[in-house]
Structures are given as C-alpha cells and as structure tokens.
Amino acid sequence: MAVDYFADPPPGLDLNESRTASNNAVGILLLALSAIFVGLRLLTRLRLKRERLGLDDYLMFLGLALNAGNLACCIAGGFFGLGKHIWSLDAYQMRQITIITFAYVFIYAWSVCIIKFSILALYHRIFGLSWMGWFCVALTTGYLITNHAVLPLYTKPLNYYWNQWYGAEGVVQVDEAKFYLGIGIINLFGDICILTVPITNVLQLRLVRTQKIAISLIFMLGSFVCLASMYRIITIARLVKTTDVSWAKSDVFIWSSVEPSIGIISGCLPTLRPLMLQIMQSWFNFIPSGRSSSGKGSRSISLKPIETIGQKRMRKISEQDTLGGSQFTELNNDGDADEERRGHHSRTWRPDEDEMCRTTTTVHARNDSRTGTERSTPDARDGGINVTKMFEWDEAMRK
C-alpha cells in the first residue's frame, strides 16, 4: 500500500532537508540559456540571413514552450514537497505530486520528441535524410505513441494512481519506475542514432581531414544530450530501488527538464554559423578567408566552407577562391572538358556565408576569345554575379 511509505523513517535522517530550491535554480538557468539560443537563432535567420523561418525553426520554438511546461511542473511539484523526504509529507501532498507527475510525463514526452523532430528537420533541410534519418523519425514517433498508450494503463481505475495515497482500492497494472527506466533507455538510443545522422554525411564531403573534424565537432555537441539522457536513466534507476519517492523523483523531474534544455541549445548551434562569423569579423577583426589581410593589425583565420549540400544530392567542391572580397567555392561542372575544347569555359561558384552553406548562389565565368583583355561585369540577375573573361587565341603562339 502507498500509505505504508510514510511509516518508519530511517534513523538519523534530517526530515527538514530539501533540494527543491537548488533543483529549481538549475532548471530556470538552463531554460533561460535555451531561450537565449532560440532568440539568437531567430536573429540569425531573420536579420542576418533575411530568410523565412522553416519547419525546424517553428518546431524548436514549440519545443522551448513545452520545456517551459516541464519547468512549471518541477516548480509546482516543489511547492507540494517534491525534493523533500517522503516522511516529512502527508497524503495530500503526495497526491498532488502524483497528479503533477502524470501530467509531467506527457509534457516531457512531447517536448523531447518535438525537439528531436526539429533537429531532424534541420538535417533534412541541409543534407536530406538517409534511411538512418527516417529511422530516427519512426523511432521518435514510436516513443511518443508508446507513452500515450501506456500512461492511461498505469492503474485500474486510473484515478487510483493518485488516490492510492488516501488508501483507495485499485490495481497497479504498470510499474511506474520500471516503465520510466525502459522508455528512458529507448530515448537514449534515439539520441545516439540522431547524433550519427549528420556525421555520415560529413564524412562523404571532399574536404581535408581537419575540416571534417571541425564540422563533425559542431554536430557532436549534441552528445551532451546523450549524457543528460544517460544521467536521467541513473536517477530513474535510483527511483526504482527507493521508498523515499518524493526525494528520488525530484532528480527525475529536474533532469527531465535539463535534457530538453540541452537539446534545444545543441539543436540551435549549427544554425548560428553566420552570427559567429559576423561576431569574429566585427569584434575580433577576423577575416573569414584563407588569405591574410593587408590592413594593419588585422588578423586572418581560415574558415573553410562546408561543402554545399542539396536536399536531394551533394555537389562536390573542386576549388576555392576569393572574388570581390567574399569567399566563393567553385563547383564541378560535368561539361567543363567539352566546353574547354570549344574555347568556351563556364564555371559555377557560390558564396560561403550561409548556415552550413546550404543555399547555393552562383557566379558564372566565361572564357571567350579576345587576346590580352579581361573584364568583369557584375550582374544581379537570379541573385548571382556574372564575371566574364575575354580571350583571343594567337594562332602563332598556338603553333
């Protein structure tokens, strides 16, 4: 019986001990940080890139709102004694904590799944999704459905789940703590799978090893979510073994709020590259180019571009150069060899400025036939710049 939990506290236990305040402080701090990163994401998309928001952005905003609901449940639970030893509480307080727990599991499930969907939508926009990406979508959906199918089956009747603290009659059909443990392991497995989705794409890029490592590290920051999920499983394992439910469950609550917050931060980091470049240029006088600046006191770092990747295919980088003060990357053109034989050569370039270099803007160069002359004509058609080089072959030199 649940009422037996209140009997015989362990000798020497401080019944006035509480960790409610510290848990709430951690939850509030991380929620604030995640809100800041979402704000920076919004700033980057609308002000710096001047692009319309995508599905991944809207899902991340929704994930932030749901995580605020997680924190609200933590604070509400603490108001009724969550974070204190059960022997210092009464039946009414435990009943309220149990009702909050029931609602909290639904909110937590939606928050982590929406954040995962947002990250997967971002990968889909940058790389396109492989079979592993779609597997992650299916696994996340299955996780969400499982929670909604099992939670109403906790007890029979359902209200026995929270009225058991008053000695009501009913049947426990699902061991709550063990269910949390099993579903937490599935959640961790899903996090690991999502972490591998962009890495497989990065390894296929035609970049030097150091560039691949740097890009991979950006995406590997999502491993912090896996660590948070892992520690949450540890807190659930402690809950399984203890009768001090209100004390152990407070750790589960707070880590169920910390994990989505870290997920939001990790999911926003890959979108902040344009903001990072602007800060490095304006604050630290860094120039995002492989060439050194001639200006006095200026510094230069090589911020090599990430290969342009379409949603359905990958284009291979063949050469890098700097045109008009901006860094561009030449893309392979299958017809180059034929056109060179005809004295006509066309090259396609794109600037390396956008988030993960997804959007492709082209610059065309044509080699015609006039000796010793070269001219560049800017043209804003289709958002690109046409640079025309004119050459004339000297037949005597040819011979």
Question: Which helix H or strand E contains 184, and what residues bound it?
Answer: helix 176-202
Amino acid at 285: N
Give the pLDDT score at 141: 95
pLDDT tens-place string over residues 354-377 = 444 443 444 444 444 444 444 444
Question: Which helix H or strand E contains 39, and what residues bound it?
Answer: helix 20-43
In terms of Cα–Cα distance, which of 88, 79, 136, 87 is closest to 253? 79
Q: Tell whether the model's pLDDT for residue 39 goes beyond 60.
A: yes
What interhelical angle do 245-268 and 91-126 show, nearest 10? 20
Bridging pattern class, strands 171-172 and 155-156: antiparallel
DSSP state, 335? Answer: T
Highest mean pLDDT out of 6-20, 67-81, 373-387? 67-81
Cα 95 to chain centroid, rounded: 36
Q: Tell whether the model's pLDDT for residue 232 goes beyond 80.
A: yes
Give the pLDDT score at 285: 65
Structure tokens at 172: 């426990």
Handedness of CA 170, 171, 172, 174 (dihedral sign): negative
pLDDT tens-place string over residues 276-322 = 778 777 776 655 544 444 444 444 333 333 333 433 333 433 344 43
Q: To 5 degrees, how large is the angle CA 363–CA 365–CA 369?
A: 165
Q: Which domains does the chain have, with CATH numbers?
A: 2-278 (1.20.1070), 306-398 (no CATH)
Structure tokens at 81: 């004694």
pLDDT tens-place string over residues 57-93 = 999 999 999 999 999 999 999 999 999 999 989 889 9
How far CA 330 is from CA of 26, 305, 399, in Å, comes to 48, 11, 31
In terms of Cα–Cα distance, which of 326, 315, 398 is closest to 363? 326
State pTM to two decimals: 0.70
Q: Tell whether the model's pLDDT for residue 156 goes beyond 70.
A: yes
